[in-house]
């Protein structure tokens, strides 16, 4: 089941109704709803989640009993990441070995089988691993009930694409039987849902058509098309993923549960370090707490600190996907952060007068890295990157510009609508500066609030692509 479907729009209010009518069985209501949510995609793969939870549940209980703690943690993490490797990275690993062997002159064949990538495996594996590590660190007591841990990992709003929650924030909320339906929660939930559907079904899915046209056939286009498609993809992936997070937050709000804000206007960042404090916040904090800091963090020599940064970002790239394009993308972000630290170590804060320039430079750099993230392979990414300005001499010719834009879509009007939607997203982020859009609009006069949400609703009804909607990009991770 996916958020941007009629099924989910029926499923969510039904679950909320049962949840509030029968408070004594809430955890079972949420667990059954979560199982149904995931099993609507592939029922048999829910067993993998149950197995993952089982391993971490047993490990946490053994850790609580002080039973060979280091060995228990090591075995648990080995099983967690072995499952992740088998289901997500085995094909990538074997393909890479075959490619290297053939380059070296050896003839070997790839194993003749493929493994289906379970939806959301990277997310629930990281969340389960964090639970066990936090029990090991004695930040959180091990749960006695297996059902409680299973619900914590499987809570349907954040199951397949985050936010990646910690037990000390989410577990107690899920087990609170005293939560009552409150108008402020219901209203906030509906507003987050509205914003999320606008971002996903209106903006991201419309931009996807133009992006796919160029990135799936890069040899058929030239520089200006690459630039426009890359800018569109920057907005597409932001709206796709933050739209999912908004729908997740809104769905949880309807149930009286607060999830972590996962995005905070990332394209208004004045540096790469700041970008990662604003983009996919729960993943960034996970990588910091469970990889970067255990490696020594910033408490070591400069060389070791830079190595820790690179290792962390390469892990981030590999987490995103089983393709060298993601590894390169992660490495680029690591290198950019190292360069930023080396060049501006003594000036952590950008002077206000230079902030707009710093934001623009950061956005351009992030867009360059997106080329590798979106490209189907490294060769396509290099082709696009090295030909971004191949036709720049003609960019001043409006007829040529219109021809290029027309080649990216069957309808020039769609391109113009896409440009206006990108401007709308920029306006939303500027309005939400240093907070979130819902909170900012909530402080406006009631008439303006009505107009804002009415416009969002009208645009969803007029422009949304529900019947040809694509999956959320981060479902593949």
Is pLDDT above 90 for 18? yes
Q: What is the pLDDT of residue 471?
A: 61
221 and 116 housed in the same domain: no
Q: Is 320 a catalytic residue?
A: yes
**Cα(284)–Cα(273) distance, rounded to whole angstroms?**
10
**Cα(457)–Cα(378) distance, rounded to whole angstroms?**
40
40 and 161 housed in the same domain: yes
121 and 233 housed in the same domain: no
pLDDT tens for residues 78-101? 999 999 999 998 888 888 888 888
258 and 404 housed in the same domain: yes
**Cα(294)–Cα(310) distance, rounded to whole angstroms?**
14
**Cα(82)–Cα(22) distance, rounded to whole angstroms?**
40
24 and 169 housed in the same domain: yes
**Cα(276)–Cα(366) distance, rounded to whole angstroms?**
11
Overall number of domains in the chain: 2
- Among 138, 157, 180, identify where a domain stops: 180
Q: What is the pLDDT of residue 351?
A: 78
Calculate mean pLDDT across residues 275-288: 96
Is pLDDT above 60 for 474? no
Q: Nearest-CA neighbor of 375 among 175, 255, 230?
A: 230
pLDDT tens for residues 192-228? 999 999 999 999 999 999 999 999 999 999 999 999 9
Full domain range(s) for residue 411: 185-270+350-476
* 284: in domain: no
In the set 67, 320, 333, 387, the catalytic residue is 320
pLDDT confidence bin for 117, thresholds 50/70/90: confident
Q: What is the pLDDT of residue 11?
A: 95
* 293: in domain: no
pLDDT tens for residues 232-264? 999 999 999 999 999 999 999 999 999 999 999
* 69: in domain: yes
* 133: in domain: yes
142 and 215 housed in the same domain: no
- Among 151, 180, 209, identify where a domain stops: 180
Measure CA 395 to chain center. 34
160 and 139 housed in the same domain: yes
Residues belonging to the chain? 477
Q: What is the pLDDT of residue 159?
A: 92
In terms of C-beta density within 10 A (0-12 exposed, 13-18 middle, 19 or more buried), how is residue 6 classed?
A: exposed
172 and 192 housed in the same domain: no
143 and 197 housed in the same domain: no
Task: Give me the helices (H) in 222-301, please.
Answer: 223-254, 272-278, 281-287
pLDDT tens for residues 151-170? 999 999 999 888 999 999 99
- Which residue is associated with the tokens 């009505």? 450
Q: What does the CA dihedral 261, 265, 270, 271 come to, rounded to 10 degrees? A: 50
171 and 196 housed in the same domain: no
* 333: in domain: no
85 and 221 housed in the same domain: no
437 and 464 housed in the same domain: yes
- Among 180, 197, 230, identify where a domain stops: 180
pLDDT tens for residues 40-49? 988 899 999 9
pLDDT confidence bin for 5, thresholds 50/70/90: confident
Q: What is the pLDDT of residue 468?
A: 52
pLDDT confidence bin for 190, thresholds 50/70/90: very high
Answer for the pair 308, 297: CB distance below 8 angstroms, yes or no: yes
**Cα(453)–Cα(460) distance, rounded to whole angstroms?**
11
pLDDT confidence bin for 175, thresholds 50/70/90: confident
Task: Work out the mean pLDDT of the chain and round it to a whole number.
Answer: 90
pLDDT tens for residues 360-410? 999 999 999 999 999 999 999 999 999 999 888 899 899 999 999 988 987
């Amino acid at each position: 089941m996916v958020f941007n479907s009629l099924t989910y729009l029926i499923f969510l209010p039904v679950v909320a109704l049962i949840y509030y009518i029968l408070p004594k069985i809430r955890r079972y209501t949420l667990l059954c709803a979560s199982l149904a949510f995931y099993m609507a995609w592939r029922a048999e793969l829910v067993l993998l989640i149950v197995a993952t939870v089982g391993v971490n549940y047993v490990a946490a209980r053994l850790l609580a009993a002080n039973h060979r703690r280091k060995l228990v943690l090591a075995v648990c993490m080995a099983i967690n990441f072995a499952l992740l490797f088998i289901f997500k990275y085995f094909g990538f690993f074997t393909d890479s070995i075959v490619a290297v062997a053939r380059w070296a002159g050896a003839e070997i064949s790839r194993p003749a089988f493929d493994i289906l990538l379970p939806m959301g495996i990277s997310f629930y594996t990281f969340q389960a691993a964090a639970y066990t590590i936090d029990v090991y660190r004695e930040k959180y007591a091990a749960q006695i009930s297996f059902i409680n841990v299973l619900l914590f990992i499987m809570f349907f709003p954040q199951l397949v694409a985050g936010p990646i929650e910690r037990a000390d924030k989410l577990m107690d909320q899920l087990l609170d039987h005293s939560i009552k339906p409150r108008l402020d929660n219901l209203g906030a939930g509906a507003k987050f849902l509205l914003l999320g559907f606008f971002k996903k079904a209106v903006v991201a899915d419309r931009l996807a058509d133009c992006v796919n046209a160029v990135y799936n056939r890069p040899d058929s286009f030239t520089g200006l098309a690459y630039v426009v498609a890359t800018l569109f993809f920057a907005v597409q992936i932001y709206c796709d993923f933050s739209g999912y997070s908004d729908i997740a937050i809104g769905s949880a709000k309807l149930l009286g549960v607060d999830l972590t804000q996962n995005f905070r206007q990332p394209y208004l960042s004045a540096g790469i370090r700041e970008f990662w404090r604003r983009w996919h916040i729960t993943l960034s904090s996970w990588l910091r707490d469970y990889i970067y800091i255990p490696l020594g963090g910033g408490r070591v020599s400069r060389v070791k600190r830079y190595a820790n940064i690179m290792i962390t970002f390469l892990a981030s790239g590999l987490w995103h996907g089983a393709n060298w394009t993601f590894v390169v993308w992660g490495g680029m972000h690591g290198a950019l952060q190292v360069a930023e630290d080396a060049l501006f170590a003594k000036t952590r804060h950008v002077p206000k007068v230079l902030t707009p320039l710093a934001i623009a430079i950061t956005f351009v750099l992030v867009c360059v890295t997106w080329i590798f993230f979106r490209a189907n392979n490294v060769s396509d990414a290099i082709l696009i990157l090295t030909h971004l300005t191949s036709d720049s001499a003609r960019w001043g010719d409006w007829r040529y510009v219109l021809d290029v834009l027309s080649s990216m879509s069957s309808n020039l009007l769609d391109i113009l609508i896409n440009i206006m939607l990108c401007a709308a997203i920029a306006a939303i982020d500027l309005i939400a500066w240093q907070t979130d859009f819902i909170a900012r609009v909530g402080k406006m006069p009631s008439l303006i609030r009505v107009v804002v949400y009415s416009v969002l609703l009208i645009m969803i009804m007029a422009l949304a692509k529900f019947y040809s909607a694509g999956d959320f990009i981060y479902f593949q991770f």
